[in-house]
Chains A and B, each alone.
Chain A
């Protein structure tokens, strides 16, 4: 096999409580020095636990921009990684950025609402609102370094920092880019502290994974890796740390916060990673464990490790969280950096914090596995694994190898079809804000019990209903025979912003010890995907992407790759965004919530909401259960231009690149596209930028479908809706939601409905990313 599939690590960057750079953190880690102290950055009055692992560098010393701390930590670590890889962004501007994150801009949400409460809204800049969503982070890194490659924020809570590395490798293997900055970042926030405090999941003492297991200690930081294709690395004479062989992602489909006690979901991710790497469990020399220090995690992980690795005589396992604390969305990446350093140096960092008695007790229960208590271990390592398990039941494992090793082939060119659509949508009514209807009847139709759906926030409810509708439409039901063959990718612009803001306001009013245990699980962006997987029994891939409004189409590109790389046979790709009093306030305060409709040269848009789920199936699978086929997904293109999150204009070259890449991959000429399903929202600059590109590529008179003219701007939901309605048009369905336009010399005018063989769905979002998907009539 060629070197085409080889992904190598060539640069590392790290910041956490153990230090400001890789060397400092690594030295402290191998010496078993903990970064856990009493927390001073948030008020812990009245809290039973006060420990945390905080990096003491102030925001201004991380980077000069006015970004949320999660972005600043990430920029700092990214700079170190680029320098370490000896890559200059000026000469390599095509670098992509994939960031794992959990709490988004929670620190900024806290400070915004605190400032509004104390000083009044008129004295707080509306620009602070742009620091709130997780969607901003990867682009902020791109802007800082001038990087033009594809971006995404993977927002799968505590597994995000491992999944981001896995996705970067998938994109390199599919030829999307040669180099990625991939990793994870999270700041220390009152949101996470108050939430875990409310769940009684914090340890009063420094956390002690695989030991007392009496809770976690929260940390903060960022870990960044430069990952590139082997060919590219060799060509530029880069120093190669190691290869990334394979990875595995799975869902527990069990509980929104607790792992499955039998470890089945964790073992599924580990098994997938081992098989993906062409290895056997006994080949693994070292595992950097998830090892959070909660009883539930440690017991399940202990069981998983013993079940899978008792066949091994040489396995070492350690949890560096005993020193860094649990850095949530950054955890997987920080631990990946430690794992790479362990491979490089033949030294395993320890699990810190055992007393003499505890060490003796560990020996009793450890069996053949070496848990590396207190002191680091010198050992030749060939293969090392890092595990991350998250809220929502998301599990991820990744395997690093010191030497090259052939991995099993994974690309398939089997056609992928759209076989099911599930739609929950608002309808434009002339006002500046519209909501989708969700009633008790809707839940009853799909046998969703009140005891289940009452726990869900608006964002999760929208996703759950659209997801189950899509599966029902496809005639697909997850059961024991197929539950591992189906996965989920959800795209969102703003995630569960309402639940986060309300949680945070409660903490501002009642103190850090006043957090709500009920709503905290919903404040992670991947809760919606978690609930959906639990209800539907989906145990495969499960990822949530936050990357502006176009995320609802990027999710389709992502899901298509997952099927093509044979990781799953069926994927639900969705776009979901909510509209509540909180989003009405934020978009209103920012000044873009108006009653303007697309292509009307307005100043804002009608704020809508919804969730649109699209079932994608490989041909083999679709034929197996006789699914209806709406259309075939032929190809996709993604592109990015680094520009400030506040810059609403469409970058013409970026949109052209996304469309051009999609056409090129499909082997299509532009004129073969019958119609476009677009994203114009009402803001004149966006709509004109969009139309200009179409005019340049397709000339005038090309038919254009606008779903937002009928639904309002439901952000990510509108992006997937654009694809869903285009598929319905190709399928010859009558009930199309949207308005037809025709592109003219200087705008667009309403026109007759179109039809045809090929349709192009397009979306661009805040943060500079564009996605394009081409579908074909079946």
Chain B
């Protein structure tokens, strides 16, 4: 799966599962900062979503990987099997 495809899937998941308006979400938007304002419950949802989409476990993974769609994509790419 290409980086672009992974990012698109993550973005669609965030829009669908966390009701973030699509036009407010860029790949470098700060998810937990002032841009989007996610919180701890949202991070549980992201972990479940990434697991369901890519089979990648992010429980207990350091905060910096959750910063944006770009950092999530990089983490998924690195830890995806095959």
Q: Using a CB–CB distance below 8 Å, which chain A residues touch chain B?
A: 198-200, 257, 440, 449-452, 454-455, 514, 516-518, 521
Assess the A517–B21 pair: CB atoms within 8 A.
Answer: no
Contact A450 B18 (CB under 8 A): no
Minimum C-beta distance from A642 to chain B (A): 41
Asked if A454 contacts B41 (CB within 8 A), the reply is no
A-chain residues with CB within 8 Å of residue B42 when the two chains form the complex: 518
In the bound assembly, the distance between CA atoms of A455 and B38 in angstroms comes to 9
Which residues of B26-51 are within 8 A (CB) of A? Answer: 34, 36-38, 41-42, 44-45, 48
Q: Is the interface of A mostly helix, strand, loop or mixed?
A: loop
Chain B residues within 8 Å of A, Cβ to Cβ: 17-21, 24, 34, 36-38, 41-42, 44-45, 48
List, in ascending order, chain A residues with CB within 8 A of B36's CB: 450-451
Contact B19 A516 (CB under 8 A): no
Whether B20 contacts A199 by the Cβ 8 Å rule is no
Between-chain CB contacts (< 8 Å), 6 pairs: A199-B41, A199-B44, A451-B34, A451-B36, A454-B18, A517-B41
In the bound complex, how far is the Cα of B36 from the Cα of A451, in angstroms? 6
Given the known interface contacts A454-B18, A454-B19, A454-B21, the answer about A517 and B37 at a Cβ–Cβ threshold of 8 Å is no
B42 nearest CB neighbor, chain A only: A518
- The complex places the Cα of A440 from the Cα of B21 at a distance, in Å, of 10
Cβ distance A188 to chain B, nearest Cβ, rounded Å: 23
User: With contacts A199-B41, A257-B41, A518-B42 known, is A454 near B20, CB below 8 A?
Assistant: yes
Check if A450 sits within 8 Å of B24, measured CB to CB: yes
Quick one: given A198-B48, A451-B36, are A521 and B21 in contact (CB under 8 Å)?
Answer: no
- Say yes or no: A450 contacts B21, CB within 8 Å: yes
Q: Given the complex of chains A and B, what is the CA–CA distance between A451 and B37 in angstroms?
A: 5
Nearest 8 CB-CB pairings of A with B: A451-B37, A517-B44, A518-B45, A454-B19, A517-B41, A517-B45, A454-B20, A518-B18
User: Inside 8 A of B18's CB, which chain A residues have their CB?
Assistant: 454, 518
Asked if B44 and A198 sit within 8 Å, CB to CB, the answer is: yes
Complex: how many Å from CA A200 to CA B48?
Answer: 12
For the A-B complex with A517-B41, A518-B41 known, give 17 more contacts whose Cβ atoms are closer than 8 Å. A198-B44, A198-B48, A199-B41, A257-B41, A449-B37, A450-B20, A450-B21, A451-B36, A454-B19, A454-B20, A454-B21, A514-B48, A516-B17, A517-B44, A518-B17, A518-B18, A518-B19
Residues of B with C-beta under 8 A to A454: 18-21
**A521 contact set on B, CB distance < 8 A:** 41
User: Closest CB-CB distance, B48 to chain A, in whole Å?
Assistant: 7
Q: How far is the CB of A173 from chain B (nearest CB, A)?
A: 40
* Bound CA span A753–B14, Å: 50
Residues of A within 8 A of B21 (CB): 440, 450, 454
List, in ascending order, chain A residues with CB within 8 A of B34's CB: 451
Q: What are the residues of chain B within 8 A of A198 when measuring CB–CB?
A: 44, 48
How many Å from the CB of A128 to the closest CB on chain B?
29
Q: How far is the CA of A514 from the CA of B21 in the complex (A)?
A: 24
Cβ-closest chain B residue relative to A449 = B37
B44 touching A452, Cβ below 8 Å: no
Residues in B with CB closer than 8 Å to A452 are: 37
Complex formed: what's the CA distance from A521 to B39 in Å?
Answer: 13
Complex contacts, A200 vs chain B, CB 8 Å: 44
Contact yes or no, B19 A455, CB < 8 A: yes
Q: How far is the CA of A232 from the CA of B69 in the complex (A)?
A: 66
Contacts of A516 in B (CB 8 A): 17, 45, 48
A521 to B41, CA, bound (A): 10
Question: Which interface residue of B17, B38, B44 has the most chain A CB atoms within 10 A?
Answer: B44
Q: In the assembly, what is the distance between CA of A445 and CA of B62, in Å?
A: 38
Measured between beta carbons, the chain A residues less than 8 angstroms from B19 are 454-455, 518
A455 to B21, CA, bound (A): 11
Q: Which chain B residues lie closer than 8 Å to A449 at the CB level? A: 37
B57 to chain A, nearest CB (A): 14
**A contact residues around B45 at 8 Å (CB):** 516-518
A454 to B24, CA, bound (A): 11
B11 to chain A: closest CB distance in Å?
Answer: 14
* CB-nearest residue of chain A to B43: A517
The residue in chain A whose Cβ has the minimal distance to the Cβ of B18 is: A518
Chain A contacts of B37 at CB under 8 A?
Answer: 449-452
A449 to B20, CA, bound (A): 12
The interface residues of chain A lying within 8 Å CB-to-CB of B38 are 451
Is the pair A517, B24 in contact by a Cβ cutoff of 8 Å? no
Docked Cα-Cα span, A390 to B37, in Å, equals 24
Bound CA–CA A713/B74 (angstroms): 50
* A516 to B37 alpha-carbon distance, docked (Å): 19
Q: Tell me which residues across on chain B come within 8 A of A440, comparing CB atoms.
A: 21
* Cα distance A301–B76 in the bound complex, in angstroms: 40
Chain B residues in 8 Å Cβ range of A455: 19
B6 to chain A, nearest CB (A): 21
User: Which residue of B has the minimal Cβ distance to A198?
Assistant: B44
| Cα A455 to Cα B37 with chains together (Å) | 10
Contacts of B20 in A (CB 8 A): 450, 454
Instruction: Return the chain A residue nearest B45 by Cβ.
Output: A518
Nearest A residue (CB) for B24? A450
A517 to B56, CA, bound (A): 18
Q: Which B residue's beta carbon lies closest to that of A456?
A: B19
CA distance in complex: A198, B43 (Å)? 11
**Considering the chains assembled together, what is the distance between the CA atoms of A565 and B20 in angstroms?**
43
Measured in the bound complex, the distance between the Cα atoms of B19 and A521 in whole Å is 14
Nearest to A257 among chain B residues (CB) is: B41
Docked Cα-Cα span, A200 to B41, in Å, equals 10
CA distance A361 to B62 in the complex (A): 32
CA distance A516 to B52 in the complex (A): 12
**Distance in Å from the Cβ of B52 to the closest Cβ of chain A?**
8
Shortest B72–chain A CB gap in Å is: 16
